[in-house]
Structure 1
Amino acid sequence: MGIATAHLSDTIAREERGHRYTILEVCSALGGGISQIGTGYWARHYGFFSPSIFMSCCSVAALICTILLRSKQADTQRLLNDSALRVEDQEVETTRLVKSGVKSIFKQLREIFRIYTTNSCECDGCEGGKCRNLVGKSKSRVWRLWFYLLTYVVYMAAVDGYEDLMTMFLVSMPLCFSPNLVGIQAGLSSVVTLISPIVVNIYRLGFHISNQTILLTGIFYRIVFCALFLLAKDAVLIFVATALGMFTCITMPFIRVQISDLVSQSEQGPALALVPCIAKLVNTVSPVILLTIYPATLYILPSFIWVVIAVYFLVALLIMVTVWIADKVNDKTVDQNVL
Structure 2
Amino acid sequence: MDRHTSSEASSILGRTVVRRRRVTVELAVFVVIICIGLTAPITVQYINRRVKHKYNMTSETRQINCLKDVSIINGTSIEEQVEQEVAAWSLALNAAGAFPMLISTTIFATTSDSIGRKIPLLVSCVGMIAECLSFICIAYFSLPLIYLVLSRLLWNCCGGFQLFFSVSEAYIGDIAVKKKRTMKFILLQTLVLFGGGIAPIAVGYWVRATGFIPPFCLAVVFYITVILYIIIFIPETVRPINNISCCFVFLKFFSSVNMLFVLNESNRRSRLLLLLVSYFLVFSTIAYYTPLIILKVLEEPFCWGSVLIGYFLAAHPILDGIASLFLGGFLLSRCMGDNGIIQVGLLSGIILMICTGLATTTLVLFVVVVIGSLGSIPIAVFMSSLSKTVGENEQGTLFAFVGALEGLGVFLAPLILGNIYKMTSQTYPPAVFFIMTGILVVAMVFVWISKLLDLNSRNSYQRVDTDTVTTSQVDVTNALVYEMTEQ
Fold agreement, TM-score > 0.5: yes
Q: What TM-score do the two structures reach when normalised by structure 2? A: 0.57
- Give the equivalent residue in structure 2 for 1:219: 346
- Give the equivalent residue in structure 1 for 2:392: 265
Distance in 1 of aligned mates of 2:250 and 2:226: 29
**Structure 1 residue 48 corresponds to structure 2 residue 212:** yes
Q: Which moved more, 1:267-276 or 1:322-331?
A: 322-331
For 1:69, which of 234, 242, 259 is the aligned residue? Answer: 234
For 2:263, which of 119, 134, 141 is the aligned residue? Answer: 119
| SS at 1:300 equivalent | coil
After TM superposition, the structure 1 = structure 2 runs for residues 1-339 of structure 1, keeping only pairs within 5 Å, are 1-67=165-231, 68-71=233-236, 74=238, 99=242, 101=244, 103-104=246-247, 105-119=249-263, 138-195=265-322, 196-199=324-327, 200-205=329-334, 207=335, 209-244=336-371, 246-335=373-462
Question: Which residue identity does 1:107 align to in structure 2?
Answer: L
Q: What TM-score do the two structures reach when normalised by structure 1? A: 0.81
CA contact (8 A) 1:185 1:242 kept: no
Which consecutive unaligned segments of at least 5 residues does structure 2 have?
A: 1-164, 467-487
Which consecutive unaligned segments of at least 5 residues does structure 1 have?
A: 76-81, 83-97, 121-137
1:101-151 superposed Cα distances (whole Å, 9 cap, x missing partner): 36544224313422332226xxxxxxxxxxxxxxxxx52211111111111
Cα distance, 1:222 vs structure 2: 0.9
How many residues end up aligned between the 2 structures?
Answer: 298
1:159-200 superposed Cα distances (whole Å, 9 cap, x missing partner): 233322221111212333333332221111121133212122
| SS at 1:247 equivalent | coil
- Larger helix proportion of the pair: 2
CA contact (8 A) 1:116 1:145 kept: no
Distance in 2 of aligned mates of 1:47 and 1:150: 42
Cα distance, 1:59 vs structure 2: 1.3
CA contact (8 A) 2:186 2:325 kept: yes
Change (3 A) 1:211 1:102: farther
Question: Which residue identity does 1:117 align to in structure 2?
Answer: F
Cα distance, 1:99 vs structure 2: 4.7
Structure 1: 4+ residue segments shifted above 6 A: none
1:310-333 superposed Cα distances (whole Å, 9 cap, x missing partner): 111111111111112223344444
Cα distance, 1:266 vs structure 2: 1.2
> Percent sequence identity over matched residues?
19
| SS at 2:302 equivalent | coil
CA contact (8 A) 2:257 2:397 kept: no
Distance in 1 of aligned mates of 2:370 and 2:252: 41
The structure having more radius of gyration, on CA atoms, is 2
CA contact (8 A) 1:162 1:290 kept: no
Change (3 A) 1:309 1:235: same
Change (3 A) 1:245 1:221: closer
Change (3 A) 1:242 1:270: same
| SS at 1:114 equivalent | helix
| SS at 2:262 equivalent | coil
CA contact (8 A) 2:266 2:454 kept: no
- Give the equivalent residue in structure 1 for 2:477: none
Distance in 1 of aligned mates of 2:394 and 2:311: 42
Q: Which moved more, 1:268-277 or 1:98-107?
A: 98-107
Cα distance, 1:297 vs structure 2: 0.6
